[in-house]
Amino acid sequence: LLVFTHHLVVMLIAWVGVSVALHHLLTLYPERVEAQRAAWQKFVVSRIGDAALIVAVVLLYARFGTFQLPELFAAAAASSGGWQVEAASVALAIAALCKCAQVPMHGWLIKVMEAPTPVSALLHAGVINLGGFVWLRLFPVFDGLTLGHYLLITVGGFTALVAVMTMLTQTSVKHALAWSTCAQMGFMLFEIGVGAYTLALAHLLAHSLYKAHSFLASGRTVRASRCERLPLAPLRQRLSLALPAAAVAAMVLMLWPSLVSHNPLLGALLSLAVGSTLLGMPVGTAKPKRLALVGMALALVP
């Protein structure tokens, strides 16, 4: 609903509805005290983001007099902006920063790892991307670099740097993945801030695909190492079935841009971008990475 609607109010309702539904999933096990506490912390942060998005919608309506996106874009293109647009960009940036777990609203993302793994996969592969996706849908309203863009550049860039450095120090599998998501969302919002909207969309889609696989496959890694800590030694012998799965995920990631793009050059560039992202993942052995290169080469064939 949030992806396909052309009405700001419907988009707002879908935004809130997704947050409420996720909260119920995070509180699935009432006996897990830490999970309950983290879910309520996330609930509070989400309400701040909801309030910011409501402010942005009200300001855009006050400036352009419509909730319909096509009419909104046409009115924005025909006008010179105004203080309402600048204020709306800041409010929209705050909403995106809350939804994407950026510093200092990032604490809940690390703590909700107590939730079931499929819920974590849904959160990291879908729900957390909504902040960036709403920006990508509304960017035609904002002419050039607004205050909201500068806020995304500053906070997103800082969060990406801090989260990457923190991720490298983690020993817990799921905590490392959580910090990785925090960093990738920072990079994606930074790309939106500098106006690289196409790159941000490709980044968002690629991150959703590989992070879902990473979370759903994390249980195998934990079982193979017999603990929830990242192993210091290779798990090649214990993860013999996981390697083909990683290779299949790599091939899908490499091939999807060319399959969905009607422009061969665009498909090739997206394949290269996704390939660079994938090859930076800590797969565990070199074999899946070599297969990823093969997949990227196939994706480059017209």
Domain boundaries, the chain: 8-225, 235-299
How far is 249 from 160, CA to CA, in rounded Å? 25
Whole-angstrom CA distances from 250 to 115, 201, 219, 274, 295 are 26, 19, 19, 10, 7
How far is 161 from 198, CA to CA, in rounded Å? 22
Note the pLDDT of residue 61. 94
* Secondary structure class of 282 (helix, strand, coil): coil
The residue behind tokens 């017209």 is 302
How far is 121 from 127, CA to CA, in rounded Å? 10
Note the pLDDT of residue 54. 95
Note the pLDDT of residue 220. 61
Which regions of 37-155 does DSSP assign to beta strands (E)? none
Hey, how many other C-beta atoms are within 10 angstroms of the C-beta on 14?
Answer: 18
Hey, how many other C-beta atoms are within 10 angstroms of the C-beta on 58?
Answer: 16
Q: Do the Cβ atoms of 37 and 111 come closer than 8 Å? A: yes
Token pair of 270 as six digits = 């997206």
How far is 137 from 128, CA to CA, in rounded Å? 16
Strand partners, 229: 172
Q: Which residue stretches of the chain have pLDDT < 50?
A: 226-243, 246, 253-254, 256-267, 277-289, 291-293, 295-302
Note the pLDDT of residue 235. 42
